[in-house]
């Protein structure tokens, strides 16, 4: 492997092209995660505390989506939804699936909190809604930070599924560079190796950074819980 391989791949235009795809990946990931945390929390609350029709609907939704492949729902949304472009439709499919996973993460956090806190809050004049917002949910999210961050890293990696539908996210843009490089030089196995190593390195750098953040927040959370217990 010689230096010319890197010169062929990492031209100014090629780097800009990959960065444009990375921007789409970040936009898709952030939008999906934010929407999924909102919807996942709502479904978790319904499943835990609403024992009638809405609670049953939430239970069915969570179990159906968690028990079926993500790619299936991306396909369903892309080819069956009558709105937006492929990116928006696929994003909806990714959000629907991720919401169900986060719902179970949040529900686990809710179940880890002592039920006596509801009675204590009620004795202080808090309504059920106020108890959830000011007491239960803050503790819940403090406890589920590691699991939640793990799902966020998974969601970032899952955006690579969109490359199969010619959606210009990072993986698709990086992979499609082979066509433009072949116009100026003969593409060999060294080009493919370097490019795919670069793709892996970018995903690793992003997700490893998030993992370091998780470890930091987990240690900080453990110290905070220790102080509370004391």
Question: Whole domain around residue 193: which residue ranges?
Answer: 3-229
CA nearest 26: which of 198, 210, 165?
210
Q: What is the pTM of this model?
A: 0.88
Give the per-residue pLDDT at 178: 79
CATH of the domain at 80: 1.10.3720.10
- 42's tokens: 């709502």
Give the per-residue pLDDT at 11: 86
Contacts by residues 222-229 (CB-CB < 8 Å, ≥ 24 positions apart): 224/142, 225/142
Residue 223 pLDDT exceeds 80: no
Longest dimension (CA), the chain: 76
Segment 23-70, tens digit of pLDDT: 999 999 999 999 999 999 999 999 999 888 999 999 999 999 999 999
Give the per-residue pLDDT at 230: 53
Confidence of residue 228 (pLDDT cuts 50, 70, 90): low
d(CA 145, CA 82): 36
Give the per-residue pLDDT at 8: 81
Give the per-residue pLDDT at 215: 82
**How much is the mean pLDDT over the chain?**
89
Confidence of residue 190 (pLDDT cuts 50, 70, 90): confident
Give the per-residue pLDDT at 201: 94
Cα 53 from chain centroid (whole Å): 29
Give the per-residue pLDDT at 1: 59
Q: Which residue has the higher pLDDT, 201 or 182?
A: 201
Give the per-residue pLDDT at 125: 87
Phi-psi region of 53 (alpha: psi -120 to 50; beta: other; left: phi over 0): alpha
Segment 82-107, tens digit of pLDDT: 887 899 999 999 999 999 999 999 99
Give the per-residue pLDDT at 224: 64
Q: What percentage of residues in the chain have a pLDDT greater than 70? A: 94
Segment 130-185, tens digit of pLDDT: 999 999 999 899 889 888 988 999 999 999 999 988 888 999 998 888 777 777 67
d(CA 57, CA 43): 9
Residue 13 pLDDT exceeds 80: yes
Number of domains into which the chain is organized: 1
């Amino acid at each position: 492997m010689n230096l010319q391989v890197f010169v062929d791949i990492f031209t100014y235009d090629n780097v800009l092209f990959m960065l444009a795809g990375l921007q789409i990946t970040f936009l898709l990931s952030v939008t999906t995660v934010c929407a999924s945390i909102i919807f996942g929390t709502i479904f978790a609350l319904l499943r835990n505390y609403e024992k009638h029709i809405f609670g049953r609907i939430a239970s069915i939704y969570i179990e159906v989506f968690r028990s079926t492949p993500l790619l299936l729902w991306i396909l369903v949304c892309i080819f069956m939804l009558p709105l937006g472009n492929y990116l928006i439709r696929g994003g909806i499919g990714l959000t629907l699936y991720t919401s169900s996973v986060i719902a179970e993460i949040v529900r686990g956090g809710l179940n880890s909190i002592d039920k006596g806190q509801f009675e204590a809050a009620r004795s202080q004049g808090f309504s059920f809604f106020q108890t959830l917002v000011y007491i239960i949910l803050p503790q819940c999210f403090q406890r589920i930070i590691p699991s939640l961050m793990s799902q966020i890293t998974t969601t970032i990696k899952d955006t690579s599924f969109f490359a199969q539908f010619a959606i210009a996210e990072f993986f698709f843009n990086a992979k499609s560079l082979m066509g433009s490089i072949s116009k100026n030089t003969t593409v060999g196995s060294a080009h493919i190796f370097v490019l795919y190593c670069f793709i892996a390195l970018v995903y690793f750098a992003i997700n490893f950074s998030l993992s370091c953040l998780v470890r930091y927040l987990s240690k900080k959370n453990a110290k905070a819980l220790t102080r509370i217990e004391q």
